[in-house]
Structure 1
Amino acid sequence: MGLLVHPDARALIFDLDGTLSNSVPVHVATWNQVGEVYGFKFDTKVFYEMTGRPTIEFARRIIADFGLSADPEEIVKLKQQTFWDSASLLEPVNEIISIVKEYYGKLPMAVGTGASRRSAEVQLAELQITKCFDAIVSADDVTRHKPEPETFLECARLMGIEPSKCQVFEDGELGLEAARKAGMIVTDVRPHINYGNWAH
């Protein structure tokens, strides 16, 4: 069975990193570039534990884990700039992008991500799918991030669709929990995706 749009869905919401964009290898590589500057080795386990959380929380976790005396805001700035500079290395998750293209113009669609707005815009532009979405809700647009449901509820509000009629496509545990809390139709994309060497 491939990935299917639920017959009750009146709108679709997509996570970004690991769902639309196979960005994990690029994120890990850029975290390690930041680590060369600050003196730490990024543990990919942290990425899977925290995927869906804002970058500032990753920075605080790294500072705590490695006992760094760095400013988390400075780490975030360097990480984000390094990531944006590497955007050409991003690859689409074709299994999900094909759903986006199939339902473009048929159902309203939104992106609900823990990434910053700039990061979301850079990635969607690189994947050439920006025009497909009616709304983008980023880490900059909410105060209570995944696993809280605010990101996805805001997507539903912007599209004008009842939360129970929204289907969420998500690869992160925190995001799946957020979608369930929002009372939405929840689809864990991980069993359907070939991430290459970056299996969840």
Structure 2
Amino acid sequence: MLLPLPPGDFQAYLFDCDGTITDSMPVHYQAWQEALAEWGADFPEDLFYAWGGRPAADIIVDLNARQGLAMPVATVNEHRESLFQSRLATVQAVPGVLQHLQDAYGRVPFAVVSGSTRDSVTASLTALGLLDRFPVLVCAEDYANPKPDPEPYLTAARLLGADPATCVVFEDTELGVQAAKAAGMAYVKVPPPWERAGAG
């Protein structure tokens, strides 16, 4: 199922990574559940998807505050990331997004704009054989204000030398869509896994 583009003559395609290029959100959730279990932290699946696009360290800080816990942020985050990367072989690309990548590659410049770390994004794209498609990666280390702030997407446009008004964003989360809108960019909303499964 090819996701329809909004009207416009786009000079750059900007992609979120997890849940947009990579169908990795279910695998991320499994990794979160395992990493948090030893600390007795609760992370319901609906909240996991609602918080999609947020840096993992921020999520751990918020879970600590909400649940009166003192999880060591760096330790939990590293464990979660190692659990995720150990399962990367099971992750596939999102078909409707992969088709856009194949159709426009070489014609329109691409960037990845992610709330994940550069190591995580690089590992995911390498596992899918797509890393060489993206000359620009804007990851959690590369900006001060995460999505829904426009800074991550505006940073990618600047690095590509593209006018934000000529960029189209591919996003699976509401925070990401808000960031694209705030940056003055058109966007394509990528359906979550349960909706894509029903689309055949």
TM-score, structure 2 as length reference: 0.91
Could you say which residue in structure 1 is the equivalent of 2:103?
Answer: 102
Letter in 1 for 2:161: G
How large is the Cα RMSD of the aligned pairs?
2.1
Percent of pairs with identical residues: 33
Q: CA deviation at 1:8?
A: 1.4
Could you say which residue in structure 1 is the equivalent of 2:34?
Answer: 33
Matched-pair contact (CA < 8 Å) for 2:23–2:193: no
Q: CA deviation at 1:61?
A: 2.0
Pair 1:134–1:193, CA change in 2 (3 A): farther
Matches of 2:182 and 2:152 in 1, distance apart?
11
Matched-pair contact (CA < 8 Å) for 1:22–1:195: no
Matches of 2:83 and 2:101 in 1, distance apart?
28
Letter in 1 for 2:164: P
Letter in 2 for 1:66: Q
Could you say which residue in structure 2 is the equivalent of 1:60?
Answer: 61
Unaligned runs of at least 5 residues, structure 1? none
Q: CA deviation at 1:40?
A: 2.6
**SS at 1:22's partner residue?**
coil
Pair 1:119–1:192, CA change in 2 (3 A): closer
Matched-pair contact (CA < 8 Å) for 2:60–2:71: no
Write the deviation string for residues 128-180 of structure 1: whole angstroms up to 9, x where unpaired. Answer: 11111121100111111100011111111111110000000111111100000
Write the deviation string for residues 73-108 of structure 1: whole angstroms up to 9, x where unpaired. Answer: 221111112111221121210110111011110100
Could you say which residue in structure 2 is the equivalent of 1:74?
Answer: 75
Q: CA deviation at 1:192?
A: 10
How many residues of Structure 1 are paired with residues of Structure 2 in the alignment?
Answer: 198
Could you say which residue in structure 1 is the equivalent of 2:154?
Answer: 153
Q: CA deviation at 1:36?
A: 2.5
Could you say which residue in structure 2 is the equivalent of 1:3?
Answer: 3
**SS at 1:96's partner residue?**
helix
Matched-pair contact (CA < 8 Å) for 1:147–1:174: yes
Unaligned runs of at least 5 residues, structure 2? none
